[in-house]
Structure 1
């Protein structure tokens, strides 16, 4: 059994140092949480089919795929705070355009702008990892993930409340929160320096293209194994998130009417509540008694069970149980694998590995919503649910073989003497 010494708790000083990051990410995530339950129904009003709804998510992910490595590397070069502010400005512009849209073309343009300047979460994860001790990194990343959970609890609930004042009211609220987030970043987040400590233009340009970094990652098969597990997770999760609104609207009703933006807001708020419980209590306690491998395998299994149940269940009461299983599995997998990925590379590669993680996530998010949208468009609801269940089951099998019972040493792989060739 794993001893508590293997999972030290971040000190009070470290947690207080991350408090500004928590506030900034929580406000940012609240804005995203407002949009999540609303976008499918908002797009449908403008004539979108389920496949078009999936395409909106795919085009956003495609833009993230292009921008992800650049955002991660720029945050390494110029500091997390500067890049975070630019990213937030892009999010604000995307929200304003979305609220003003009177056609699907403008909705697509809004998602493209937001996607190209996205990177808030990966930069925040890198900032948290960089400002914490390696052995306490899971708790530090848990603080950031807890901020996301807080936003995804408050945001959807706020969206469900505001939609009664007009379909664009929640979007304008998200834009206002994005503006607050920019101000909070400028005011609260301390200025940080690049990982190298000193900006050297020639060296930074070389690091942007840096073949050495790619070679270093090739020497880390454990990190690539973790990324492979994350791809499976992202694919199943993206299939679910992209079409759960239209699936619930077609299959379930509440108080005599189909699920709409208000009901979906409640579902996402519940997901945020579970996220907070897991981040604040369950994941640290679970880590004291079992290995990360066991946590991830069990989480994939309960996700698969929840998705399988969606294929056959038609009662709202049982739906709540299935959604709880899916949300629990999702939260445990995301946090555990992200922390393990961060620990698998040296500290000054955090921006790069998190940017790569976001790019691979975006790759999964490009194809999964299209597949998901095509299935829902044809009303193949059981096939949709069983496809996600099968993907999660593959994740459980792969995690059994890929995850290490003890973490490999990686810091030495990136020391200067390990690669004598000049940069």
Structure 2
């Protein structure tokens, strides 16, 4: 690993560097989204309900790792800088994907999820990087661009994954086709590691870092206590927590749900992800900025909560695949939620604590990832196994809608802007 001193001094940290890194990371992750449930189902003997239960377990274990290690990596990034933590994350992701290429059983997949959960700090650390290099009044806009980078990854990633595992590649490589997307994702993750090693500059100069690494603050309990020590961070974190739980419904059941209810194959699922990803990119690049400018971060947050609640409701009730697709523009409004929320939260802490903030958020996301797969995967499997509920395969998505209704009312109460926390100038103007 190169040291900070070896980075050319003339190359200052700016938004473009972290955007490129986040984009490559999202593409590698997106490739595997439509494939992993199918691989789990294959190991489960082709039974959808059993695959849903295993998928639930994998997601929950990943969340446990995030709960414990998210705050540690967040606090570590405040102490030693963002770049080393990002490198750890990229390398862990590459290991996870390449591990999946050769996994001979569900237990090997299980181990891979544990490793990934321990090191997956790239998204939250990238957000701390954005807070380092952007003026406070422009953060929501740039958080929207970060969301667009993830959206673009999920736009082309699932399509690429579907093609790599599709009939043409099956005719060339046989049964290995279902593993091929993981190999490509692992190579992309390794490329991102090399990009971080040789190109990505550090965003947090030594004089703006925390004085020391404190285990009392880095543990999950300490990180959650941190949220109660800064104004209304706890209320805003509750909104994010409810959204994180609700958002887990799609990773938990989307592939299995649409295959069961609409008989969609892997390529149809991938193209649907392409459509929703395109809508997300449109919202995050072209809509977030004007909404925040005219309605403020609170307005973006409330519209995002309402869009998620109504979108989930439509998804859960849609009787056909076409009606499901018609609800996609409504759900796309949910892309306003995170930029507005991050903008409000990062205003409430100084530069030396942005990593702790994102680590605390990641710890909450870990708890949500523990709850979400059990709540949604469990309710989906339960509905399929009980004749009285078999007409309600969308039950888990309706539960997600109700959570977002609750999030809307919490956001209405706690989302009013507070005075900006004392901040020094960012490392450079974004995009410089």
TM range (shorter): 0.7 to 0.9
How far apart are 1:197 and its partner, in Å?
5.1
The 5 Å alignment of 1:106-185 reads 106-164=108-166, 165=169, 166-185=177-196
Counterpart of 1:23 in structure 2 is: 20
Counterpart of 1:393 in structure 2 is: 405
1:76–1:195 CA contact under 8 A, matched in 2? no
| Cα distance in 2 for residues equivalent to 1:198 and 1:26 | 26
- 5+ residue gaps, structure 2, are 1-10, 45-49, 170-176, 385-391, 424-432
How far apart are 1:322 and its partner, in Å?
1.6
Counterpart of 2:251 in structure 1 is: 241
The 5 Å alignment of 1:38-117 reads 38-47=35-44, 48-117=50-119
Answering whether residue 315 of structure 2 is matched by residue 272 of structure 1, we say: no
Counterpart of 1:331 in structure 2 is: 335
Deviation per CA, 1:351-372: give whole Å up to 9, x if none. 0000100110110110111111
Counterpart of 2:396 in structure 1 is: 384
How far apart are 1:27 and its partner, in Å?
0.6
> What secondary structure sits across from 1:411 in the alignment?
coil
TM-score normalized by the length of structure 1: 0.86
Deviation per CA, 1:105-143: give whole Å up to 9, x if none. 001111111111110011111111101122222233233
1:163–1:262 CA contact under 8 A, matched in 2? no
The 5 Å alignment of 1:345-364 reads 345-364=349-368
How far apart are 1:205 and its partner, in Å?
4.8
| Cα distance in 2 for residues equivalent to 1:68 and 1:262 | 34
How far apart are 1:30 and its partner, in Å?
0.3
> What secondary structure sits across from 1:311 in the alignment?
helix
| Cα distance in 1 for residues equivalent to 2:222 and 2:255 | 44
Q: Which of the residues 311, 320, 326 maps onto 2:316?
A: 311
> What secondary structure sits across from 2:178 in the alignment?
coil
**Which deviates more, 15-24 or 365-374?**
15-24
Counterpart of 1:408 in structure 2 is: 419
Counterpart of 1:291 in structure 2 is: 296
> What secondary structure sits across from 2:318 in the alignment?
coil
Counterpart of 1:5 in structure 2 is: none
Cα 1:142–1:195 change in 2 (3 A) is farther
Aligned residues: 390
**Which deviates more, 208-217 or 231-240?**
208-217
How far apart are 1:215 and its partner, in Å?
7.1
Deviation per CA, 1:196-244: give whole Å up to 9, x if none. 45796xx445786699988764332311111000011111111232111
Superposed CA RMSD in Å reads: 2.4
| Cα distance in 1 for residues equivalent to 2:141 and 2:264 | 36
TM-score normalized by the length of structure 2: 0.84
